[in-house]
Chains A and B, each alone.
Chain A
Amino acid sequence: MVELDSDLAARGAPAAVDELAAPAPVVAARGAIELRGLTKRYDEETVVDAIALSIAPGEFFSLLGPSGSGKTTTLMMVAGFVRPDGGAILLDGKDMAAVPPQKRGFGMVFQNYAIFPHLSVFENIAFPLRARRWANSAVAERVSWALELVRLGRFGDRHAHQLSGGQQQRVALARAIVFHPAVVLMDEPLGALDKNLRFEMQVEIKEIQQRLGMTVLYVTHDQEEAMSMSDRIAILNHGRIDQVGPPGEVYERPANSFVGRFLGEANLIEGTIAPQFADGTRLVLPSGHELRAPSASRCSGGARGMLFIRPERIEITPGANAAGGPRYNELAGRIRRCAFLGNILRYAVDIDGTAPVTVDLQNAVGVAPLPVGAPVVLRWPVAESLILPAEP
């Protein structure tokens, strides 16, 4: 490990191919990124609004948001292609404002791969090394290391247009990591791949990131992708960060209804917030029915509110009799429709006085679909419920 670090510092002899298996992080001590009040305006519109983030060395960090949320602009500012209108970008404590893109030393994977069409696979991957004036022998050694890493060992002589989309993606990845950057920036790198291949590449990228211990700043609009790979996720909306946290946290405890909806199917049952009780907060539905949640710190009594619950957290029982109990919320309703999604049966259940509630059931052995119109009782733990302020 120590040897690897010094060899990196010298930027001379590259790591040998058999060090592929070494679990030791190659670059772990470096690669901390800090964004302080980062802002970008185009004309009147503020596309990135005072973003503040602190990313640790070796962390896989995703910027997740819909198109137009400012995630790519943020990444382009970190890369140095877009000049911020305010705030600062720090790499290992050093301000990057005056550093041009080519001197920032980031690895980069672009949305359309940006493979150089006139160069072979080998020369594409060698590009960052040659730009840094590495000796030919060192280039050859390091490129074959990278080719092995992305499992393209035999493809060095090929031209980019002879490769499939997935293979081009691997070339782009190899090119981004071949010079052992401490930080790799990825801009929707899997956007153009079909679903199965995307999943395969997610696993590979994550493995390589962990093996090399590099910091990854990853931009995506695909919440599953972000959740499956990231250590932490920042959810962007209209140029602001709505929430930062590990995947489980942002999924289970969204800061607002936007985050809740963006990360997957979500029920947001509207009602009026009743004053705080000893056993938590209550939300009164238009029908008069009460739902409970452990607490709702940012909501005041009497205000409009929403109870958040994921569809897969709700149990569904045929019949009309509620079991009751202090630890569960319950709602009675009727099946409106059932959608077959393969591994999941997705029910829409009509509830008196509110929008239909979505319930996901695993398509497990012995599960027979409930008929439309059947009376059912929905039931979920109070502890899983979350009361959020109503949307403005």
Chain B
Amino acid sequence: MTGSIASPWTGSPAAAKAPRDRTLLLLLPAAAMLVLMFFVPMVLFFVRTFMEFQGSVAEFVTQARDLLFSRPYLTALATTNWIALTVTLAVLLVGYPIAYYLTTATGPSVSVVVLAIVLPYFTSIIVRTFSWMVLLGEHGLVNDTLRAIGVISEPLPLMYNRLGVLIGMSYVLLPYMVLTLYAAMRGIDTSLLRAAEGLGASGFYTFRRVYFPLSLHGVLSGALIVYILSIGYFITPALMGGQHDIMVAMLIDRELEVAVDWPSAALMSLSLLVVTLALYAIYYRVTDVRRLIGAR
């Protein structure tokens, strides 16, 4: 009964649906581009790979197993995940305070910090990586300065090793974490913090029991974004890493460029894609994607 009373005011379901269908048309150019330039080439790539085996499923499975359980691949996979994990944690530790600062501070300093975080975003990743090499190299700014003031006598190995990879990747991925956390933190009702304090909670207790739990979905989203981006990383580890810092993406590149072994490259790509999609599925679950872009 109540439904029939409400309907004259809310309009019939059909009438409500019509405009939404039309707005979907606005997505058409983007969808077409995505299909033509991403989806179709990727499918063709995998189909072509499969053709290499003359349609023999058994041979495909055998080679896939040999490759994916081979020592170089497993080592690269472990390295990739370990680097991704370390980078994610490092970025979280650095990014959380920055994001918190951005949500609470006012005045011109906010713009400066936002600019400092976002501006490198607009610079080519290769330029940024080379900049780090200038800073961290054996005769880079950091080592020269430390030697000049007498802290060290021998240059510190800051580059062409794991540390270099971690520094370079953390820097590049920091904005993703900060912006994700910022979006989540901005949604936290500050009156809750005031309430906690007013009811006798210390600053730390308020953080532990109220602020951090409420920012947790941002932490998870940010961590997943950074992790997903990390496992596909290529340029920074290639330029700043040592010989032991081979990530899966670099292995794929090597198969294509050096060994010209397309099927192996395709198989590894596929495995990486599966991992990424699995992580994205988790990400989609823990995050309200709309909230990330500020719609509340």
Binding site for B on A (CB under 8 A): 79-81, 100-103, 105-108, 110-112, 114, 116-118, 127-128, 130-132, 175-176, 179, 185
Is there an interface contact between B214 and A176, defined as CB atoms closer than 8 Å?
A: no
Q: How far apart are B195's CB and chain A's nearest CB, in angstroms?
A: 4
- CB of B205 within 8 A of chain A? yes
* B200 CB contact (under 8 Å) in A110, A116, A128: A128
Is there an interface contact between B200 and A118, defined as CB atoms closer than 8 Å?
A: no
Q: How far apart are A126's CB and chain B's nearest CB, in angstroms?
A: 11
- Contact pattern, B 185-224, Cβ under 8 Å of A = 1, otherwise 0: 0000101101111111110010001100110000000000
Is there an interface contact between B198 and A131, defined as CB atoms closer than 8 Å?
A: no
Question: How many angstroms between the C-alpha atoms of A103 and B203 in the bound complex?
Answer: 11
* B194 CB contact (under 8 Å) in A106, A114, A117, A127: A114
Residue of B nearest to A128 (CB): B199
Is there an interface contact between B201 and A127, defined as CB atoms closer than 8 Å?
A: yes
Residue of B nearest to A123 (CB): B209
Is there an interface contact between A108 and B192, defined as CB atoms closer than 8 Å?
A: no
Is there an interface contact between A132 and B200, defined as CB atoms closer than 8 Å?
A: yes
Residue of B nearest to A106 (CB): B198
Question: How many angstroms between the C-alpha atoms of A114 and B210 in the bound complex?
Answer: 11
Question: How many angstroms between the C-alpha atoms of A256 and B197 in the bound complex?
Answer: 39
Residue of A nearest to B193 (CB): A114
The verdict on A102 contacting B201 (CB below 8 Å), with A117-B214, A118-B214 known, is yes
Is there an interface contact between A114 and B192, defined as CB atoms closer than 8 Å?
A: yes
Binding site for A on B (CB under 8 A): 189, 191-192, 194-202, 205, 209-210, 213-214
The verdict on A102 contacting B200 (CB below 8 Å), with A118-B214, A127-B209, A131-B205 known, is yes
List the B side residues contacting A116 at CB < 8 Å: 192, 195-196, 210
Is there an interface contact between B199 and A176, defined as CB atoms closer than 8 Å?
A: yes
- Residue pairs across A and B with Cβ atoms less than 8 A apart, 27 shown, are A79-B198, A102-B201, A105-B200, A106-B198, A110-B195, A110-B198, A111-B191, A112-B189, A112-B191, A114-B189, A114-B191, A114-B194, A116-B195, A116-B210, A117-B214, A118-B210, A127-B199, A127-B201, A127-B209, A128-B199, A130-B209, A131-B196, A131-B199, A131-B200, A131-B201, A176-B199, A185-B198
Q: How far apart are A10's CB and chain B's nearest CB, in angstroms?
A: 17
List the B side residues contacting A131 at CB < 8 Å: 196, 199-202, 205, 209
List the B side residues contacting A106 at CB < 8 Å: 198
List the B side residues contacting A107 at CB < 8 Å: 199
Is there an interface contact between A81 and B213, defined as CB atoms closer than 8 Å?
A: no
Question: How many angstroms between the C-alpha atoms of A130 and B200 in the bound complex?
Answer: 9
Question: How many angstroms between the C-alpha atoms of A108 and B193 in the bound complex?
Answer: 13
3 closest A-B pairs (Cβ-Cβ)? Answer: A114-B195, A131-B201, A108-B198
List the B side residues contacting A176 at CB < 8 Å: 199
Question: How many angstroms between the C-alpha atoms of A80 and B195 in the bound complex?
Answer: 12
Q: Is the interface of B mostly helix, strand, loop or mixed?
A: helix
Q: How far apart are A117's CB and chain B's nearest CB, in angstroms?
A: 7
Is there an interface contact between A81 and B198, defined as CB atoms closer than 8 Å?
A: yes
List the A side residues contacting B195 at CB < 8 Å: 108, 110, 114, 116
Q: How far apart are B72's CB and chain A's nearest CB, in angstroms?
A: 45
Q: How far apart are A186's CB and chain B's nearest CB, in angstroms?
A: 11
4 additional A-B pairs beyond A108-B199, A118-B213, beta carbons within 8 Å, are A117-B214, A118-B210, A118-B214, A179-B200
List the B side residues contacting A112 at CB < 8 Å: 189, 191
Question: How many angstroms between the C-alpha atoms of A16 and B195 in the bound complex?
Answer: 27
* A110 CB contact (under 8 Å) in B191, B202, B209, B214: B191
List the A side residues contacting B199 at CB < 8 Å: 102, 107-108, 127-128, 131, 175-176
List the A side residues contacting B214 at CB < 8 Å: 117-118
List the B side residues contacting A117 at CB < 8 Å: 192, 214
Q: How far apart are B14's CB and chain A's nearest CB, in angstroms?
A: 31
Q: How far apart are A27's CB and chain B's nearest CB, in angstroms?
A: 16
List the B side residues contacting A128 at CB < 8 Å: 199-201
List the B side residues contacting A114 at CB < 8 Å: 189, 191-192, 194-195
Quick one: which of A79, A103, A118 has the most chain B CB within 10 A?
A: A118
The verdict on A102 contacting B189 (CB below 8 Å), with A110-B194, A114-B195, A131-B196 known, is no
List the A side residues contacting B189 at CB < 8 Å: 112, 114
Residue of A nearest to B201 (CB): A131
Quick one: which of B189, B195, B202, B214 has the most chain A CB within 10 A?
A: B195
Q: How far apart are B145's CB and chain A's nearest CB, in angstroms?
A: 42
Residue of B nearest to A113 (CB): B195
Question: How many angstroms between the C-alpha atoms of A192 and B112 in the bound complex?
Answer: 39
* B198 CB contact (under 8 Å) in A101, A111, A179: A101
Residue of B nearest to A129 (CB): B200
Residue of A nearest to B203 (CB): A102
Residue of A nearest to B194 (CB): A81
Question: How many angstroms between the C-alpha atoms of A132 and B194 in the bound complex?
Answer: 16
List the A side residues contacting B205 at CB < 8 Å: 131
Question: How many angstroms between the C-alpha atoms of A105 and B205 in the bound complex?
Answer: 16
Quick one: which of B199, B200, B205, B210 has the most chain A CB within 10 A?
A: B199
Q: How far apart are B285's CB and chain A's nearest CB, in angstroms?
A: 17
List the B side residues contacting A175 at CB < 8 Å: 199
Question: How many angstroms between the C-alpha atoms of A128 and B200 in the bound complex?
Answer: 6
Question: How many angstroms between the C-alpha atoms of A103 and B194 in the bound complex?
Answer: 13
Q: How far apart are B158's CB and chain A's nearest CB, in angstroms?
A: 41
Q: How far apart are A383's CB and chain B's nearest CB, in angstroms?
A: 46
List the B side residues contacting A100 at CB < 8 Å: 197
Q: How far apart are A75's CB and chain B's nearest CB, in angstroms?
A: 11
List the A side residues contacting B213 at CB < 8 Å: 118
Q: How far apart are B38's CB and chain A's nearest CB, in angstroms?
A: 38
Q: How far apart are B44's CB and chain A's nearest CB, in angstroms?
A: 47
